[in-house]
């Protein structure tokens, strides 16, 4: 494993990447950190309090009054411009994702490509916002189905996909006539600032109304304020199951609309007839991608006893060969977990497994 870059070098690089995306150098009380060294990347803005949330919802509500009556293809043109800017800044934003979230370079770039792809998809949707026409029992009449924008949408995202999840929600919300308030993960604030800078540039290019995308930084209290706010029509929250259990009753209690993307407890089953070469590759890829921090990461393996020993041997060799280290270095396949508490939880899980009679085969 090659030596890690110095924290000063990483902080300087983050500042350069932010500037490349048009975000400038943020100030404020909040800070950003890199999991590569655990050190600071600098300031990341101020935490939003209840008053800031109220102001942001008010601005979004004013924007909604204009945006909801804007023709769908015109709304799609804004998202098309966002996609073009993402293409132009793919390298810079992808590298910033790696610096702040610890993803290997290909994953950082791949995440930005997902943003570009959803923009392309949403632009097409902007010309297909149509409803059904339905036969009526009354002569000379037909029923018409019309879809209406909902209103300001809150998008709460997690560190493991710090930019793609925002784009999946925002691109579709915007072409459907809805402003977005983005509560980014407090573990990855700089990527949110970079994305918003690109969005604001696109909005200015097409003379879109102000307030269509706003970033609200801070911890869980900001997400809680958005979930409880009567001015938020739709809440889309990505995070832990615990977070979902907290958010769901709050939104339901005010009859809001809710989309949840939560954690998983994913299993693979290996039967006696399985292709063990394919199984080994699939298991290793699913378990170690993004350092095992995806909601889709493999967590449980159910193996027939007749192939158990051979599969364990294969997995031991596969895991032992995985290059771990600086996520931006050539050849690295696994970068760091997001922070020290995440590392501690991994160690605790291993300790519990061995205490219950499990054997640590590799690691």
**Residues designated as active site:** 261, 295
Measured distance between the N- and C-terminal CA atoms of the chain, rounded to whole angstroms: 15
| Dist. CA 311–CA 49, nearest whole Å | 52
What are the Cα distances from residue 291, in Å, to 180, 282, 338, 341? Answer: 30, 15, 9, 14
Q: What is the DSSP string of 70-126?
A: S-HHHHHHHHHHHHHHHHHTHHHHHHHHHHHH---HHHHHHHHHHHHHHHHHHHHHT
Instruction: Count the alpha carbons within 13 Å of 315 in the hemisphere toward its beta carbon.
Output: 22
DSSP state of 45: -
With contact defined as beta carbons under 8 Å apart, do 96 and 17 qualify? yes
Query: In which element (H, E) is residue 153 found?
Result: strand 153-156
8 A C-beta contact, residue 44 and residue 26: yes
DSSP 3-state assignment of 227? helix
Between CA 253 and CA 126 the distance in angstroms is 32
Burial 61-80 (b: 16+ CB within 10 A, else e): bebbeebbeeebeebbbbbb
């Amino acid at each position: 494993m090659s030596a890690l870059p110095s924290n000063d070098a990483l902080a300087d690089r983050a500042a350069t990447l932010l500037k490349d995306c048009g975000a400038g150098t943020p100030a404020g009380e909040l800070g950003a950190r890199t999991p590569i060294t655990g050190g600071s990347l600098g300031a990341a803005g101020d935490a939003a309090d209840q008053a800031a949330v109220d102001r942001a919802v008010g601005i979004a509500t004013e924007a909604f009054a204009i945006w909801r009556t804007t023709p769908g293809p015109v709304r799609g043109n804004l998202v098309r411009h966002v996609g073009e800017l993402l293409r132009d800044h793919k390298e810079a934003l992808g590298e910033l994702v790696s610096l702040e979230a610890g993803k290997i370079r290909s994953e950082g770039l791949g995440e930005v490509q997902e943003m570009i792809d959803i923009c392309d998809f949403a632009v097409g949707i902007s010309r297909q916002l149509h409803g059904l026409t339905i036969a009526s029992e009354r002569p000379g009449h037909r029923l018409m189905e019309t879809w209406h924008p909902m209103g300001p949408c809150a998008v709460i995202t997690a560190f493991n996909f710090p930019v793609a999840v925002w784009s999946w929600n925002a691109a579709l919300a915007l072409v459907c006539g809805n402003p977005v308030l983005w509560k980014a993960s407090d573990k990855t604030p700089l990527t949110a600032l970079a994305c918003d800078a690109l969005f604001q540039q696109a909005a200015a290019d097409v003379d879109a109304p102000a307030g269509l995308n706003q970033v609200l930084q801070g911890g869980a209290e900001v997400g809680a304020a958005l979930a409880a706010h009567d001015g938020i029509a739709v809440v889309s929250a990505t995070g832990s199951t615990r977070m979902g259990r907290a958010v769901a009753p709050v939104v339901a209690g005010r009859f809001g609309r809710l989309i949840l993307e939560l954690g998983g407890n994913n299993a693979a089953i290996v039967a006696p007839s399985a292709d063990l070469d394919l199984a080994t590759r699939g298991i290793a890829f699913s378990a170690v991608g993004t350092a095992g921090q995806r909601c889709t990461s493999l967590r449980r393996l159910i193996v027939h006893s007749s192939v158990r020993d051979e599969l364990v041997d294969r997995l031991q060799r596969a895991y032992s060969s995985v290059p771990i280290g600086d996520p931006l270095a050539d050849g690295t396949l696994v970068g760091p977990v997001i922070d020290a508490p995440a590392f501690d939880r991994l160690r605790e899980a291993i300790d519990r497994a061995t205490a219950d009679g499990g054997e640590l085969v590799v690691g």
